[in-house]
Amino acid sequence: MTFKHKLKNTLKPLNPFFKKYDFVGFDVETYDLNGVQTFYFGSIYFYENGEEVFETYFDKEQLINRLLSPFFKGKYITATNLSFDYSSLFYDTKYFNDIKLIWRGSDLITAIYELPNKKGSIKFIDTFNYVGFSVEKLGKIIGTDKQEKPSYMGKRKSKTIEELNYFIEYNKYDCKITCDFMYFLQKGINEMGGELKLTIASSSLDTWRRSFMIGNIIKEQYTLKDDKIKEFIHKGYYGGRTEVFKKGIMKDMYYYDINSLYPAMMLKQLPNPNSVFKPDNLSEGNIIKYMGVSEVLVESPDNIDYPILPYRSKETKKLIFPKGTFRGVYNHNELNYALTNGYKILKIYYQVCYKHTFKPFSTYVTTLYDKRLEYKKNKSSMELVVKLLMNSLYGKFAQSKRLNTKITDINNLTGQDKVNALLFDKGDIKDNFLIESSEQEFDGIFTFPILSSYITSYARITLHNYLSTYKAVYCDTDSIVTKQMLPESLELGKMKLESKLNKCEFIKPKMYYMQFENGEEVIKMKGVNRPNLENWESVKNSNSVIKYKMTKIRESVRRGFKPNTLIKIEKNLNIEDDKREWIGFESKPLTIKEII
C-alpha cells in the first residue's frame, strides 16, 4: 500500500449538487418448456417528454437490440428480480459474453453493456438492491395496484387473443410499477439531499457525505503508515446477537423490539479516526481512558448466564457468546462494559487508540428520524425511504471484501480467445461455460471499520441490558422474547411491544414459530424460503423439508442446468443449536478454556 497520496486516503464531504436519473421498467414473461422457464415475451416502460411509452417484444433479438441501443444510454433499465429477467433474455445468446455482471453473493446487482467505440454504457439494475419487496408490494407503496396474475402464467403461452391482451396488460403494470417505484425512491433520496446510487447502502453514504458530513476523515493506515491496521481494527467488528436461551413450546410471552436500534447507536460518541495513535505501553489504563481496539486474553465470571463478549468459533465459524478464558480483538467500548460486569483482562497483545471522539452522524439521524415521524403522521409512503436510509449507513464503513465472478460462454468465443479459455484460463468449465471466481480485499475511500465496530457494539450492549434484566428466552439483533413485561417507549433506541404471543417455539437461532395474539403465525427457518406449518412440523420430526426453487445463473451454470429451471430439493436441516450448551430445554453458555 502507498502512503504518498493523502487525498486517496481521505474521506471528504461531497458538493451539494446531485444527478437525477431516468428509469426504464423492464420485465420478461416466461412459460414452462420441459421444466425450464423459457422466454415468451418481454416489455419496457418509460417516459418520453412526459408521455408514457410501452413496448412489447415477442422476439428475443429485437428486444435485446432495443435495450442495448444508444437511446437508453445514461438511463437505468430496472427489473424486480433482475437475475430472472436478465437470464431469461440473454442466456444462451451471442450477447452473453458482452455484458459485465456484478454480484453480491448470489444476487445480481447490475449488468453493464459497453456501447461500441466508447460511446457510453447501458446499465441494468434491480429494485432488490434497495428493498426486497415484490412488485405487488412496490405497487402498494406508490399507490398502483398490480393486476391479477393470469392463472396460466409461467405454465404455458396464451391460447386466445383475449388471454394475450390481458397478459400484455399485466406485464405493462409490472414494468410501470418497477419504473415508477424507482422515481419514487429517487425523489425521497433527493429530498434528503442525496443522489441515488447502485444500492441503498451506497445511496445512504452519498446522502450523508453530500448533506450532513462535516470535515475530512483520514484513514488510520495512512496516519500510522501501517497497511495492517485496517485489518486489525476490522477484527473488532462483530454483527448482531442471535441466540436461543430456552427451547420448547411456551405460551403467553411478549415479543419486544428496539426502535431503530442502529440509528439510535449512531447518535453516540465514536472514535475520531483523525486522532489515531499506537500507545507506547500496552495497558488496561489505555482501554479505560481511550476509545480504541485491543487484542486481549480475557476471563469471564463463572456465574454469568448471558455473556457479553462475542467470539468467532474456530470449529463452527459462528459468532458465539461464551464464558471462560479466550483471546479476541475487541473495541474498548465492549471491553469496558465487560470489565464493569466482572470480566478480567489477563493479557494485552496489541492496541490502537484514539485521542478524540466525535458525533459524525447525529444531525443525519435526528433529521431523518424527525422526517420519518412527519411522514408517518401524514401516512406518507416516503417513510419507507427515510427508514431505509437511516438503517443502511453504518455497515457501509466496514465493507472489506468483494467477490468477483465472471461467466463466459465458450461457444461464443472464436480463435485464440477460445483456445485461451479452454487451455490457460483458471476456473471451472461446466457445459461449455467458464466460471472464474475470486475474492479480493476491498478498501474504499469510505472504509472505516472502527465506526461500524463501535455502533454495533453499542447495539449489543443495549440488547444485553435487556437480556440480563428480563431473562429473555430468545434474541435477534434488536429484539427479545420474554415472559416479563417491559416498560415501553416510542423514543429512538427504546423498547416497544411488537406483539403478545399466544405461543411460540424456538429450535435454534433463525428457526422459530410464533403465533401472535391476533392468530397470525410467523415461521422462520434459515435456508428455507417462505416456510409453512407443514415444513415446520416436517423439520421437527425428520430434519428434512421438500421445497421447489428456481435456479439462478451461477448455480445453474455450476450444476449444469439452464437458468430458471424449477427443481425439487430436499433440504436436511440441522436442528441442533451449537451456540449454547443444552440440558433438555434449558441452556447455559458454552465454556472456552484457551491456554495461550
Alpha carbon distance 101, 87 (integer Å) = 11
**What residue has cell string 410501452?**
54
Alpha carbon distance 538, 570 (integer Å) = 11
DSSP 8-state secondary structure symbol assigned to residue 547: E
R_g (Cα) of the chain, nearest Å: 26
Alpha carbon distance 330, 234 (integer Å) = 10
pLDDT for residue 1: 46
Alpha carbon distance 425, 580 (integer Å) = 45
pLDDT for residue 170: 97
pLDDT for residue 6: 81
**Angle at which helices 362-377 and 382-392 cross, to 10°:** 160
Nearest to 129 by CA among 101, 115, 110, 148: 110
Alpha carbon distances (Å) from 281 to 211, 286, 301, 336: 40, 9, 27, 18
Low-confidence stretches of the chain (pLDDT beneath 70): 1-4, 401-441, 596
Alpha carbon distance 388, 194 (integer Å) = 13
Alpha carbon distance 143, 135 (integer Å) = 12
pLDDT for residue 263: 96
The β-bridge partners of 522 are: 514
DSSP string for 194-207: ----SSHHHHHHHH
Q: Cα dihedral angle (478, 592, 595, 282), rounded to 10 degrees?
A: 20
Query: Mapped to the 3 state alphabet, what secondary structure does 261-323 carry?
Result: HHHHHCCCCEECHHHEECCCCCCHHHHHHCEEEEEEEEECCCCCCCCCCCEECCCCCCEECCE
Alpha carbon distance 272, 220 (integer Å) = 10
CATH number of 23-192: 1.10.287.3510, 1.10.10.60, 3.40.50.280, 3.30.420.10? 3.30.420.10
Alpha carbon distance 561, 568 (integer Å) = 13
Cα angle value 139/142/145 (rounded, 5°)? 35
For residue 335, the SS3 value is: helix
Alpha carbon distance 408, 418 (integer Å) = 10
pTM over 0.75: yes
Read off the amino acid at residue 327.
Answer: R
DSSP string for 174-228: HHHHHHHHHHHHHHHHHHTT----SSHHHHHHHHHHHHT--S-EE-HHHHHT-TT
Phi, psi (degrees; rounded to nearest 5) at 185: -65, -45
The β-bridge partners of 57 are: 42
Give the domain ranges of the chain. Answer: 23-192, 403-439, 506-590
Alpha carbon distance 426, 406 (integer Å) = 11
DSSP 8-state secondary structure symbol assigned to residue 39: E
What digits encode the pLDDT tens for the residues 397-428? 998 766 666 666 666 666 656 555 555 555 56
Pairing of strands 121-126, 76-79: parallel
Residues 6+ apart with CB under 8 A from 195: 18, 19, 189, 203, 206, 207, 210
